[in-house]
Amino acid sequence: MKKAGFEFRDHTADVQVRSWGSSLEEAFSQTAYSLIATITPDLKKITPKVEKIITIKAEDKEALLFDFLSEFLYIFDVDELVFSQIYVSKIEKFNDKYKLQATLKGEKFDLDKHEIGIEVKAITYSFLNIEEKHDSTIIDIVFDI
């Protein structure tokens, strides 16, 4: 398996993705890239003009991932932003909750510049799995389209 990345898997009605990285943070970043690549397939066409820093808190890692990815859908719907640089700097546990900090760089979606992919309606918990090992993390998730 490559050091970090994602791949789309066969699914009858929705988009199923497997993402991986050498750390939980890297795997979360790759999962976010897969979401953006679903919305607009060629990430190389996204210029990192705008920077957003986000913080997400949740009760467990699965809810953290769900909320993290849902934030991308919210930002896309409200601000029309897509991102080509996604860096999850830290995921930590404190007081029985998880906290994520990430820096996102991208630009406003432009029909003349960016490819139209598949509209993602929501992130789902179906098939959601986070498997952490000593030197890698694998995430499986389904996007509702």
Instruction: Give pLDDT tens digits for 57-72.
Output: 999 999 999 999 999 9
Q: Which residues lie closer than 8 Å to 139 by C-beta, 6 or more apart?
A: 17, 18, 19, 20, 27, 28, 30, 31, 65, 129, 130, 131
The overall average pLDDT reported for the chain is 95
Distance in angstroms (rounded) separating the CA atoms of residues 34 and 4: 12
pLDDT in tens, 62-110: 999 999 999 999 999 999 999 999 999 999 999 999 999 999 999 999 9
Backbone angles phi, psi at 101, to 5 degrees: -125, 135
What pTM was estimated for this model as a whole? 0.94
What number does CATH give the domain 5-144? 3.55.10.10
Q: How far is Cα 43 from Cα 114, in angstroms, rounded to an integer? A: 9
Share of the chain above pLDDT 70, in %: 99
Average pLDDT of span 2-6: 84
Q: At what angle do helices 24-39 and 61-79 cross, to 10 degrees?
A: 30
Per-residue pLDDT at 1 exceeds 70: no
pLDDT at position 11 over 80: no
Domain ranges of the chain: 5-144
